[in-house]
Every structure is written in C-alpha cells, then in structure tokens.
C-alpha cells in the first residue's frame, strides 16, 4: 500500500475475490476465517456481502448497527467487529464535490448495503425528504423503516413514481451497482433529469458512468464515486492501523491511477 509506505508502515493489502479460481467453492465464512487465521488486521467488505456478513461477526460499531451494513471488519481482542465507513466516505465526498447543494428533497436509487449507508449520510447531512427506490420493494421498505426510527416519520419514504419524485427533487443518488463496468447502463431514465438537478454516484469504476455522462451533458452538477471510495478507505485504514492517513495524498493517487482500478464483487483485501 502506497499510503502505508508513505507513513513508514509495513502493511500487506491483498485481494480476496470469490470469483477467482483460488477461492472456488469457498463460502464467505471460510474466507473470513482464513484471513483471520493468517494474521490480517481485518478486511474490507463490498457488494454483495455488506449485509450477509453480519451474522459472522462478534460485534458491531454503533454506525454499523444502525445501518445494518458493514464494509470494514477489524480482527482484535473483541473478535470480529464490523464497522461502516461508507456513510462517512459518502458524506465527505458529497460535501467536497457538491458544496452548497440544495438538500430539500432527494431521490435515492438502491436500498442495499451501500444504500443504507448513503440514506443515513443524506439524512444526517440535512436532506428534508428522501424518496428511496429499489427493485426489491421489501428491501426499500425495510430501509425506510430503519431510517424513520432514526430520523423521524416525515423525512423518508418508499419511492412510488420516479417521474413524480424527480420533478420535485433537488437531486438524485445512484446507490445501485448499475453503471459499474460489469453492470453497464443507467439506473434512471435520463429523460427525467433536468439541469437544476445535482447527481451523485457511488460507482467509481468507471468514474464517468452513463448516468453522470448524461447529467453533465445537460448541465447538472455532479459528483462521482471517487470521493466516497477514498474517504471510506481512509477511515478503514485508520481502523486497521490506528494511524490517520493523508487523504489529500490518497485522493491525488487515486485520481492518477483510476485507469488501473478493477471493480470486483470482492475488492482488495475484502469480502
């Protein structure tokens, strides 16, 4: 890891990819157990395991418990402790990329593990009403109920009609995998966008998704998934090492090496 080297830390950060032949037939639990036995400090967790991994853990941080999703597991004296740095990473990336964005009403696409973190971040940042859409109606309902328990009945609802919701919204967030290199396309009909909308992505490979490309073409303010990727990773780095990394240096390095990023269902040193 280049940031570790810059901080004079000797660390190993590997790829645990369940799609690779080396892991063929292994369960998430088996890979997690092996990583712990091999002496790693922890793992990062990405789509589609952020919720499925919870029963395999000994404890959850307050944020992870509230969100019902984990993207970082730390191995230690308390066993396997799950954390969620996604919400922090998204909030920091959003503020950095869209300063002063209107937060009266927003539309969120996706209610999975990343969606839970983003809904939490948006409501924590002050979005007054968030309409959440997901192809799985039960998943959207569950997330809405969880957010209502934290932020109140009036501030979040299950989305019913995208056209109507977008007509009222200040902006839209894609919290689905649609737009990733292996899931091309747009999660929203682009004709629902208007220039006054802001558009935020969680996908970071590619940095310019079809949704962002369409949004920029009509003059929308946009923020890509790079900020979330870097800032959530920085927080996870601190959890693993106890050392705060230089986020400006990490962002600069990320932007200079974006072409080399490979998106996987299981990411670097992750599940």
Task: Give DSSP secondary structure letters for 21-45.
Answer: GGGTT--HHHHHHHHHHTT-SEEE-
**133, 140 in Cβ contact below 8 A?**
yes
Q: Where are the beta strands (DSSP E) in 90-186?
A: 105-109, 129-133, 156-158, 171-174
Q: Which residues are catalytic?
A: 50
Helices and strands of the chain, counted as H and E runs: 10, 10
Tokens 């853990």: give the residue. 57
Residues counted in the chain? 271
Q: Which two tokens stand for residue 254?
A: 């990320």
**60, 91 in Cβ contact below 8 A?**
no
Q: How far is the CA of 81 from the CAs of 29, 43, 54, 72, 175, in angstroms?
A: 14, 10, 9, 8, 24
Q: Which two tokens stand for residue 141?
A: 């309902």
Burial label for 10, CB within 10 Å (0-12, 13-18, 19+), is exposed
Q: Which two tokens stand for residue 176?
A: 């689905």
Neighbours of 163 (CB within 10 A): 9
């Amino acid at each position: 890891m280049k940031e570790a080297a810059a901080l004079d830390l000797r660390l190993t950060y590997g790829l645990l990819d369940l799609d690779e032949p080396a892991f063929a037939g292994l369960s998430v639990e088996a890979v997690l157990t092996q990583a712990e036995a091999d002496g790693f400090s922890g793992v990062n967790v990405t789509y589609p395991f952020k919720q499925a991994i919870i029963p395999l853990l000994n404890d959850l941080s307050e944020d992870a418990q509230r969100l019902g999703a984990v993207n970082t597991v730390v191995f230690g004296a308390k066993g396997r402790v799950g954390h969620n740095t996604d919400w922090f990473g998204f909030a920091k990336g959003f503020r950095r990329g869209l300063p002063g964005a209107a937060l009266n009403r927003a539309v969120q696409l996706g209610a999975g593990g990343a969606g839970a973190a983003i809904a939490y971040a948006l409501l924590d940042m002050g979005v007054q009403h968030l309409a959440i859409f997901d192809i799985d109606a039960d998943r959207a309902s569950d997330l809405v109920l969880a957010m209502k328990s934290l932020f109140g009945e009036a501030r979040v609802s299950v989305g019913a009609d995208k056209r109507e919701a977008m007509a009222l919204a200040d902006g839209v967030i894609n919290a689905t995998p649609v737009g990733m290199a292996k899931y091309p396309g747009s999660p929203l009909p682009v004709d629902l966008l208007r220039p006054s909308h802001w558009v935020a992505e969680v996908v970071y490979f590619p940095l310019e998704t079809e949704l962002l490309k369409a949004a920029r073409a009509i003059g929308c303010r946009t923020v890509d998934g790079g900020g979330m990727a870097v800032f959530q990773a920085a927080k996870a780095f601190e959890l693993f090492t106890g050392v705060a990394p230089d986020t400006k240096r990490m962002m600069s390095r990320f932007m200079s090496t974006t072409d080399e990023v490979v998106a996987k269902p299981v990411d670097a040193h992750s599940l």
